Amino acid sequence: MVKRDPKLSRTNKISITLNDYEVAALDKYCKKYRVKNRTKLVREILFTKIFTDFNSNPPTLFGEDEMARLAQK
């Protein structure tokens, strides 16, 4: 049996509210691409976006104004 890290257990819950058009689009996508687990789909899309943004905009030691001032020197 595989031991899982308890920190990776999904115990926190969030919920979102969608309008009729958004639900219809999600349902159409899931039907077209034979998605059986919408929760997994939304989680993967969400974290793909989050990690992409984190990687393209890493934290810096200085604020934007300090970086601009340093770049002028």
pLDDT, tens digit, 9 for 90 and up, residues 33-55? 999 999 999 999 999 999 998 88
Give dist(CA 71, CA 65) in Å, integer: 10
Place 58 in a pLDDT band, splitting at 50, 70 and 90. Answer: confident
Q: Is the pTM of this model over 0.75?
A: no
The secondary element (H helix, E strand) that includes residue 16 is none
**Percent of the chain residues past pLDDT 70, beyond the cut:** 99
In the numeric block, the tokens 């309008």 are attached to 19
Any idea where the domains of the chain sit in the sequence?
21-56
**pLDDT value at residue 69:** 84
Comparing 13-22, 28-37, 56-65, the range with the smallest average pLDDT is: 56-65
